[in-house]
Amino acid sequence: MKPCAPMKYEACIGLETHVMQKTQTKMFCGCKHEYGAEPNTNVCPVCLGYPGALPVLNAKAIELCCKAGLLLGCEINPHSKWDRKNYFYPDMSKNYQITQADQPLCLGGQIVTEVNGELKTFTLERIHQEENAAKNTHAANGSLVDYNRAGTALMEIVSNPCMHSADDAFAYIQALKLIMEYGGISDCDMEKGHMRSDVNVSVRPVGQEKLGEKVEIKNMNSPSFIVEAIN
């Protein structure tokens, strides 16, 4: 009897990358967007989520998001809207985040880059605009919240699960970082948390179309961590 050929598997990898935009003020209020300021000094009723506070859109953030979309070959959605993502957590004092669910600003798009000498195309699903959460710092005897980051402009760039190795993901994130930097969209300073990725990985038999069960590794702030997480 002939032995069965061993089944071959492939990884399918998608990245959700949060990029903090280079704006002077926050997404929905006039508070300064400034790194390293004294905690809880760049805050107001809007970004602290006081009842009755009215958010006002930051035009520069929309301009930068559309510019990012054009640089990545996205279609700019002529009609876009905002949604509330409800969750209870100390880093979001309103108990909801303003984001875009079904009508994001940018649709589709792609990144073409070289991986080990081979030119590859990685397709995007969408880019949506949202607001950042505050920053929690956990110490042994308690937790601290700094609302200076709450409400700063944040884009989420969502790729399709079109990558198949850590090398693919590394090349993708490096190319994305360069495009964001040279386009003036973001400084992409990883240490300041300007760029963070959630990595979705699933495994399926080669030849199968349906994706396998997905595992999400959240908040990777450097390309080398992304590579380690995938491997």
Binding site for Zn ion (CB under 5 A): 29, 31, 44, 46-47
Q: Which is nearer to Zn ion, 120 or 149 (CB)?
A: 149
Q: How far is the CB of 30 from Zn ion (least distance, A)?
A: 7
Q: How far is the CB of 149 from Zn ion (least distance, A)?
A: 11
Q: Which is nearer to Zn ion, 113 or 132 (CB)?
A: 132
Q: Would strands 195-205 and 215-220 be described as parallel, antiparallel, or unpaired?
A: antiparallel
Q: Which is nearer to Zn ion, 46 or 153 (CB)?
A: 46
Contact 148, 34 (CB under 8 A): yes
The angle at the Cα of 45, spanning 37 to 157, to the nearest 5 degrees, equals 65
Q: Would strands 83-86 and 110-115 be described as parallel, antiparallel, or unpaired?
A: unpaired
Q: How far is the CB of 146 from Zn ion (least distance, A)?
A: 13
Q: How far is the CB of 155 from Zn ion (least distance, A)?
A: 19
Query: Which two tokens mark 176?
Result: 């994305």
Q: Which is nearer to Zn ion, 29 or 74 (CB)?
A: 29
Could you tell me which of 55, 7, 5 has the C-alpha nearest to residue 206? Answer: 7
